[in-house]
Amino acid sequence: MIALLLMTLDEEERNRILLLWQENGAALILYAQKILGSAGTFEDAQDIVSEAFERLMIHFERYERLSEVQMKGLLFRIVRNLCMDFHRKTKRTPVMEIYDDTETPEHGDDAEVFSPEDLVISEDNVQRMQKVFLSLSPALREVLEMKLNEEMTDEEIAEELHITTAGVHTRLVRARRQVRIKWEEEEHE
């Protein structure tokens, strides 16, 4: 799911998310493990961090003006809230230490670092994303597929479709926005 959502962002946004992941991914997983305690597994912590990044990307337009420090704090808050949701769902009492959002939990050099693509993409999410893509208008879906599947540049897409690069950019922005909106609608069904 993360890989698909990353592709809906433009290059600058994608680079910001990847940098946040590289700098904070391992710390976020350890933070989630600490909050989950014995109630959750390492895989649960990975899933929670994955979902935190998914939420950040889905709502990126709301947060794009935040500084890197603010985004880091936001990610830690999202992870903490998702861990609390996990505890509520499993009806276990959380055992946790509270971290200041400005602090990064310490982790050893042996901590495993995962890329977003390494996290498991559930079959349900893949099916949901396919449903969302198919619900786009043909013009938006075509531009998005050319960008994501064929990895064409905006200029190549413009040439192929006989439209301006500004038109391509507009369609991509609209497609990404609709994907986010429809994804949220799918989550609530």
HEC secondary structure over 28-75: HHHHHHHHHHHHCCHHHHHHHHHHHHHHHHHCHHHHCCCCHHHHHHHH
Most confident range (mean pLDDT) of 11-20, 47-56, 65-74, 161-170 is 161-170
Q: Of 58, 83, 118, which residue constitutes the final position of a domain?
A: 118
Answer yes or no: is pLDDT of 19 > 60.
yes
Residue 66 and residue 98 in one domain: yes
CATH code for the domain in which residue 135 is found: 1.10.10.10
Quote the crossing angle between the two packed helices 11-36 and 68-90, to the nearest 10°: 40
Answer yes or no: is pLDDT of 156 > 50.
yes
Residue 81 and residue 10 in one domain: yes
The pair of structure tokens assigned to 158 is 């413009």
Q: Of 93, 118, 143, which residue constitutes the final position of a domain?
A: 118
Residue 13 and residue 83 in one domain: yes
State the pLDDT at residue 28. Answer: 92
Residue 21 and residue 89 in one domain: yes
Residue 114 and residue 61 in one domain: yes
Residue 108 and residue 16 in one domain: yes
Residue 29 and residue 104 in one domain: yes
**pLDDT tens digits, 76-115:** 988 988 888 888 887 644 444 444 444 444 444 444 444 4
Q: What residue has token string 């939990």?
A: 105
Which domain range does residue 178 map to?
123-188
Residue 113 and residue 132 in one domain: no
Residue 110 and residue 127 in one domain: no
What's the mean pLDDT when you consider all of the chain? 77
* Alpha-carbon gap, residue 59 to 90, rounded angstroms: 27
Residue 128 and residue 112 in one domain: no
Q: What residue has token string 């960008």?
A: 147
The pair of structure tokens assigned to 47 is 């899933």
State the pLDDT at residue 120. Answer: 43
Q: What is the pTM of this model?
A: 0.50
State the pLDDT at residue 163. Answer: 92
Number of domains in the chain: 2
Residue 57 and residue 109 in one domain: yes
* Alpha-carbon gap, residue 180 to 66, rounded angstroms: 19
Q: Of 97, 118, 139, which residue constitutes the final position of a domain?
A: 118
Residue 39 and residue 113 in one domain: yes
Answer yes or no: is pLDDT of 3 > 70.
no
